[in-house]
Structure 1
Amino acid sequence: MAKHEKDATFVGDSRIRAKRIPNIAPSYSEYPGKSEPFWPNFLLKEWMVAAVCLLGFLVLTVSAAPELTGKANPNNTSFIPVPDWYFLFLYQMLKYPWAAGDWVVLGTVIIPGLAFGALILAPWLDRGKERRAFRRPVATWIMLVTLVGVFYLTWAANEEHEKSLASNGGGGGGAGAPAAAADPNFKAGELWAAQQNCQNCHGVNMEGSAAAPNLQKVGAELNADQIADIIKNGKDGKMPPGMFQGSDEELTKLAEYLASLK
């Protein structure tokens, strides 16, 4: 009987390959246009994009001054406080009954907590390998609904605020309608110079401000009795009562002086 010689390799587990393959990454030249080394190629591109975005952001912050409201004025009772624009959607959500009142914890803690928690846990909650949006319908629809909700609530909050300002005479703490054009040559009399409380809103020379009207020609619209009544009792929430600190005689003189300005 002929004897055949055979080479055999014995291993402890049949699932382990006898021939070891070295753990060396393949050459990326085999996959042109599809892969590239993370360092430095890919990371350098990311850094360049980040640097351009950061530079553009810095240019915007330096070239365009931020839109700030007027200084706080305790005498302006028509002021309507609102948060900054990036919190307007939360501000608007708290106006609805299901997120306010007895359910305020739902609108202030639970819903924001779930939303931001989902963003943090997103890499672990959705581990699918598909990158096309239509192949990941759950994640895509959740993101679309969230974006639409944030944009709508922000728009609704701003729209309601603008309507409130219009119905309240533009009293927005510096963001309302500007005062009528003032005469730079106008000089207020001694009666007005003694009224420090009035000057705080209407100006040293009655030029007015965003929170109070121009009074340089108030006599053309109101008579002395009407002016005295407004000074004493206020006007429609725009001017609080009791701002005048003086006697009735001084009030009459001030009202007559203002009525003479035509």
Structure 2
Amino acid sequence: MAHGNKPDEKIVYIGDSRVRVKTEKLKQQDFSAYPGKSEVFIPNFLLKEWMVAVVCMVGILLLVMSDPPPLGYPADPTNTAFIPMPDWYFLFMYQLLKYPYTSGDFIVFGTVVIPGLLFGGLIIAPFLDTGKERRFYRRPIASGMMFLTLFAVIYLTVFSWHHYQEELTANGQIPEHIQRELDIEEAKQSGKPAPGSTSAALPAIVASDDPGAAIFQKATCVACHATDLKGNKNMGAPALLGIGDKHDKAAILDIIKNGYGNGKMGPQYDANIAGGLTADDIDKLAGWLALQKAAK
């Protein structure tokens, strides 16, 4: 140990801090007493697990690339007609929270207590089931809990999707991602810009001084389609600007009398008559709406 910078000072080593080089290689454990049942974790078992994980990951990547996720319209929090749906692996929990004993006054039970019991059971399972038996039919408690949980998850998932389909049918709705694809395909066939693109601007009102325009302001149509004919997405009412490109006067009269879209819009004829309009007024209204065409 030196105390200064003198060249003739005596140095005394009180310990050896040098790292010693290990020349011995790691010896694998001998599992010959258990043929085919045991092996070293590193690298034998770990390499097998890694290879299986890589194959699974590649399979998932191929599925993702071959079937891209569906895209709906941009999210609109004010759209009360939209039916929210989680991803498929959360459908069972979504359905569970619909029941009275897991929602409303019991929301804490459904969102905290039940998930806590499920995840807590997974954590303490190794401590409760300490048997060495690996065959599932000789582990009745653990196997029974596993099959019960699996059955509940499958049942809630299937029933949740079935209930969602019933809601769509009852409300006469088409899922947004399907409606978006239909609108895009319709725009392509008609040579119009795709919905949502910057060039898909609505046309202007045609013949704003026509008597039908004044009748429109008194009709029930204005409640949903707005005074400027731009519609209301929150109510599922499309814009009427350019409707003349899709429907003629006779078709518009038929929609007013019989409704449209399998209950999406009910008949409006009787309601307008009760509101003070005459049959001649409604005829003029349909004629004016038929004039609403995009400029060419």
Cα separation, partners in 2 of 1:257 and 1:73, compared to 1, 3 Å = farther
Aligned 8 A contact 1:28 1:35 in 2: yes
Task: Give the alignment's TM-score, normalised by structure 1.
Answer: 0.65
Which stretch shows the higher mean deviation, 152-161 or 165-174? 165-174
Mind listing any 5+ residue stretches in structure 2 that lack a counterpart? Answer: 1-26, 194-201, 209-227, 267-281
- Work out which of the residue numbers 168, 172, 182 in structure 1 matches 2:171: 168
Aligned 8 A contact 1:76 1:171 in 2: no
CA distance in 1, matches of 2:232, 2:252: 19
Q: Within 5 Å, give how 1:2-151 maps onto structure 2.
A: 27-73=30-76, 77-151=80-154
Q: CA deviation at 1:133?
A: 0.5
Give, as a single letter, the amino acid of the residue that structure 2 aligns with 1:222. Answer: I
Instruction: Please tell me whether residue 221 in structure 1 is matched to residue 251 in structure 2.
Output: yes
Cα separation, partners in 2 of 1:74 and 1:173, compared to 1, 3 Å = farther
Q: CA deviation at 1:67?
A: 2.5
Identity %: 43
Q: Secondary structure at the match of 2:95?
A: helix
Aligned 8 A contact 2:230 2:241 in 1: no
Cα separation, partners in 2 of 1:33 and 1:218, compared to 1, 3 Å = farther
Q: Within 5 Å, give how 1:211-250 maps onto structure 2.
A: 216-217=246-247, 219-223=249-253, 226=256, 235=265
CA distance in 1, matches of 2:125, 2:156: 24
Q: CA RMSD in A?
A: 4.2
CA distance in 2, matches of 1:206, 1:107: 49
Equivalent residue for 2:220? Answer: none
CA distance in 2, matches of 1:30, 1:89: 47
The higher-RCO structure (CA 8 Å, 6+ apart) is 1
Equivalent residue for 2:219? Answer: none
Give, as a single letter, the amino acid of the residue that structure 2 aligns with 1:115. Answer: L
Aligned 8 A contact 1:76 1:173 in 2: no
Cα deviations across residues 159-217 of structure 1 (Å, max 9, x unaligned)? 1111111121124334459469566158987426995724977479858xxxxxx9712
Aligned 8 A contact 1:222 1:259 in 2: yes
Cα deviations across residues 103-157 of structure 1 (Å, max 9, x unaligned)? 2221111011100111122222222211111111111111111111111111111
Equivalent residue for 1:258? Answer: 289
Aligned 8 A contact 2:206 2:291 in 1: no
Give, as a single letter, the amino acid of the residue that structure 1 aligns with 2:48. Answer: K
Cα separation, partners in 2 of 1:118 and 1:185, compared to 1, 3 Å = closer
Cα separation, partners in 2 of 1:104 and 1:48, compared to 1, 3 Å = same
Equivalent residue for 1:211? Answer: none
- Work out which of the residue numbers 159, 162, 170 in structure 1 matches 2:162: 159
CA distance in 1, matches of 2:161, 2:255: 39
Cα separation, partners in 2 of 1:215 and 1:84, compared to 1, 3 Å = farther
Q: How many pairs were matched up?
A: 215
CA distance in 2, matches of 1:95, 1:105: 13
Q: CA deviation at 1:77?
A: 4.6
Equivalent residue for 2:190? Answer: 184
